[in-house]
Amino acid sequence: MVKAVVGANWGDEGKGKITDMLAEEADIIVRFQGGANAGHTIVNNYGKFALHTLPSGVFYGHTTSIIGNGVALNIPILVQEIKSITDKKVPMPKILVSDRCQMVMPYHILFDQYEEERLGGKSFGSTKSGIAPFYSDKFAKIGFQVSELFEDGLLRDKVARICETKNVILEHLYHKPVINPEELLETLREYREMIAPYVCDVSSYLDRALKEGKTILLEGQLGTLKDPDHGIYPMVTSSSTLAAYGAIGAGLPPYEIKEIVTVCKAYSSAVGAGAFVSEIFGDEADELRRRGGDGGEFGATTGRPRRMGWFDCVASKYGCRLQGTTDVAFTVLDVLGYLDEIPVCVGYEVDGEVTTDFPVTCKLEKAKPVLTKMPGWKCDIRGIRKYEELPENCRKYVEFIEQQIGYPITMVSNGPGREDIIYRESPLQQ
Ligand code: GDP
C-alpha cells in the first residue's frame, strides 16, 4: 500500500513532521522529486534536524529510506547529511539510491549562481542549489545517471562532450572560469566511491515490497503552487510536486497510491518571488513569522525570512484538488493562539470579479484578497490530544476552513513533536 505526503501550498507546510509521524507505521519512505534546495525540519527524541535529501523516515530503525529516480541527487550533501544524523547518535539508517537517479553536478550549482547574478533584480530567488540547471540538463538529455558512474570509459567521453558546450556558455555568456574535464572526472570518481554502498534498482525493489504487502510512504517536497505545470509558473520549482509524480519519481504503478495526505498550514508562508495574494507585511507579518513554525518561519536551507500571510482558502482548495487529497493534515494551528481575530482569505478579486478558483499566473498577479475574520481562541492548545477538547473558536476555525477547501481535515497538528497530533473524524470523509 502506498501513501503520499505532499504539500498544498508553497512548501514548508510541515510535511517533514507528518512524514516522520506516519513513518512509524511504514516500511519504506521514498523521496521522489526535488533536491537539496528545500528542507524539512524534524523534532524528535534525537534532537532537531534539517533534512534536505534524506527522507523524513531515517530516524526509525525499521524503515528503509529511498532516494528515487526523480530526485536531483547531490552526492556530497547526501553523505554529509548521513554523517550529521549519525553524529547525533541516530543509528545508521538503511538507505537506497536509485541507479536511475541523476546527479547534481558541481557546474549546475555554479550555473544557478551565475544565472541569478545575470538576472539581477529579475532573478527567481533560487536557493542556488543547482536545481533548475540540473532539471534543464535532465530533459535536454545531457544529465548524468548514477549508473553511469560505474562505466569509466563512457564517463570520460561524456564528460569531454559536456564540457565543450558548458565551457562555451561559461566563457561567453557568464565570463567565468571554464571547467577542466580531468578535474570533473576525478570528482565523479570520488562520487562513485561515496554512493556505491547505496545504489539499487529501486523500482524492482519497490515492486517486490508491494508484493510482500509492505507500506510505502512517498514524501513530497514543496507544494502544489510550486509545481511547474499547475503552480505559479515561472516562480515554481523544476520538478513536479504532485502526488501523481510520486509514481514516476519512485517507479511505481500510479494506481498503487491509495492515500494522499495533503499538508496545509493554518496560515501561509512562502519563500522566493511570485504572487502571494494573502501576504501580510510590517509588524503583523513580523509577529507571525517570529511565532510561526518551531522557532520562527525562516528557511531550513537558507535561513532567510519567509514571506507570511493569512490562510488562503482559494490556493489551498486548488492545492488539495491537484494533489488528489484523501486526507488533509492541518498543521501549526497552535501558533495562532495569540490573535484576537484571525483573517482568512476566502476569495480573490480579479478585474472587479470575485472568484474562489485559483487563476493562471497573469491573472493571479492582479488578484486582491477577499478576507473574512474568524474569532481567535486566545490560549495555548499544545498538549491537547482530543478534538473535542480544543476551544470552540479553534474548532470553528478548523471546520470553516474544511468547508471552504472541501477536503476532509482528519489530522490537526498542534506542536512540532511526533505526538502533537489530534485525529479527527470529518463529515467530508467518504
Ligand atoms: P516541510 O518542508 O513541509 O516539512 O516544513 P518545514 O519543516 O520547513 O516547516 C515546518 C516547521 O514547523 C518546522 O519547524 C516544524 O518543526 C514545525 N511544525 C510542524 N508542525 C507543527 C505544529 O503543528 N506546530 C508548530 N508549532 N510547529 C510545527
**159-178 confidence digits (pLDDT tens):** 999 999 999 999 999 999 99
CA of 5 to the centre of ligand 1 (A): 14
Residue 123 has pLDDT above 80, yes or no: no
Q: What nine digits make up the cell of 307? A: 514571506
Residue 207 has pLDDT above 90, yes or no: yes
Alpha helices (H) along 43-90:
75-86
CA of 109 to the centre of ligand 1 (A): 27
Q: What nine digits make up the cell of 360? A: 493562471
Residue 418 has pLDDT above 80, yes or no: yes
Whole-angstrom Cα distance, residue 219 to residue 398?
A: 24
Model confidence at 51, pLDDT cuts 50, 70, 90, reads: confident
Query: Of 47, 6, 4, 16, nearest to 293 (Cα)?
Result: 16
For ligand 1, atom 13: residue with the closest CA? 41
Alpha helices (H) along 235-278:
243-250
CA of 128 to the centre of ligand 1 (A): 23
Model confidence at 101, pLDDT cuts 50, 70, 90, reads: very high
Q: Is 43 in the pocket of ligand 1 (CB under 6 A)?
A: yes
Model confidence at 301, pLDDT cuts 50, 70, 90, reads: low
Residue 213 has pLDDT above 80, yes or no: yes
List, in sequence order, every residue forming a beta bridge with 73; answer none if it has no partner.
103
Q: Is 240 in the pocket of ligand 1 (CB under 6 A)?
A: no
Q: Which of 65-69, 125-129, 421-425 has the lowest mean pLDDT?
A: 125-129
Rounded to an integer, the average pLDDT of 366-395 is 98
Q: Is 40 in the pocket of ligand 1 (CB under 6 A)?
A: yes
The atom of ligand 1 lying closest to the CA of 414 is 23
237-296 per-position pLDDT tens digit:
999 999 999 999 999 999 999 999 999 999 999 988 889 999 999 999 999 999 998 889
303-346 per-position pLDDT tens digit:
789 999 999 999 999 999 999 999 999 999 999 999 999 999 99
pTM for the structure as a whole: 0.94
What is the DSSP secondary-structure string of 190-235? HHHHHHGGGEE-HHHHHHHHHHTT--EEEEEEEEGGG-TTTSSTTS
For ligand 1, atom 11: residue with the closest CA? 293
Q: What nine digits make up the cell of 133? A: 540547471
